[in-house]
Amino acid sequence: MAVLPGATLGILGGGQLGRMFALDAKRMSYRVAVLEPSKDSPCGQIADHVITAPYTDEKGLRELADKSDVLTYEFENVDAKAVEFLEGLGKPVHPSSKVLRITQDRILEKTFALNANIPVTAFAAIRSGEDLENGMTAVGFPAFLKTSRGGYDGKGQVRIENADEGRKAFANFSGVDLILEGLVPFEKEISIVAARRQDGYFSAYPPSENVHVRNILDLSLHPARISNSTASAAYNIAFKVGEGLGIVGTFCVEIFVLSDGSLMMNEIAPRPHNSGHATIDACLCSQFEQQVRAICGLPLGSTELLRSAAMINLIGTGEGNRLDGVEQLLAAPDASLHLYGKSEAPKGRKMGHFTVLANSADIAEKRARELQKQLKWV
What is the contact surface with ligand AMP in residues (CB under 6 A)?
121, 144, 151, 154, 181, 183-184, 189, 212, 215, 254, 266-267
| Residue closer to ligand AMP, measured from CB, 215 or 227 | 215
Sign of CA dihedral 18, 23, 24, 25: positive
Sequential DSSP letters for 101-132: HHHTBHHHHHHHHHHTT-----EEEESSHHHH
Residues 305-334: b if buried by 16+ CB within 10 A, e if exposed: bebbbbbbbbbbeeeeeebeebeebeebeb
State the DSSP code for 206. Answer: P
| Residue closer to ligand AMP, measured from CB, 67 or 146 | 146
At residue 184, the 3 state secondary structure works out as coil
Min CB(123)–ligand AMP separation in Å: 8
Min CB(41)–ligand AMP separation in Å: 24
Rounded CA separation 28/4 (Å): 9
Min CB(302)–ligand AMP separation in Å: 28
Strand partners, 355: 311, 336
Rounded CA separation 366/50 (Å): 41
| Residue closer to ligand AMP, measured from CB, 256 or 340 | 256
Min CB(216)–ligand AMP separation in Å: 9
The secondary element (H helix, E strand) that includes residue 200 is none
Min CB(148)–ligand AMP separation in Å: 11
The residue at minimum Cβ distance from ligand AMP is 184
Rounded CA separation 309/357 (Å): 5
| Residue closer to ligand AMP, measured from CB, 97 or 274 | 274
Min CB(361)–ligand AMP separation in Å: 19
| Residue closer to ligand AMP, measured from CB, 212 or 369 | 212
State the DSSP code for 93. Answer: B
Rounded CA separation 103/78 (Å): 11
| Residue closer to ligand AMP, measured from CB, 264 or 298 | 264
Min CB(5)–ligand AMP separation in Å: 36
At residue 6, the 3 state secondary structure works out as coil
Min CB(30)–ligand AMP separation in Å: 31
Helix 129-139 vs helix 163-173: crossing angle, to nearest 10:
140
| Residue closer to ligand AMP, measured from CB, 261 or 320 | 261
| Residue closer to ligand AMP, measured from CB, 49 or 225 | 225
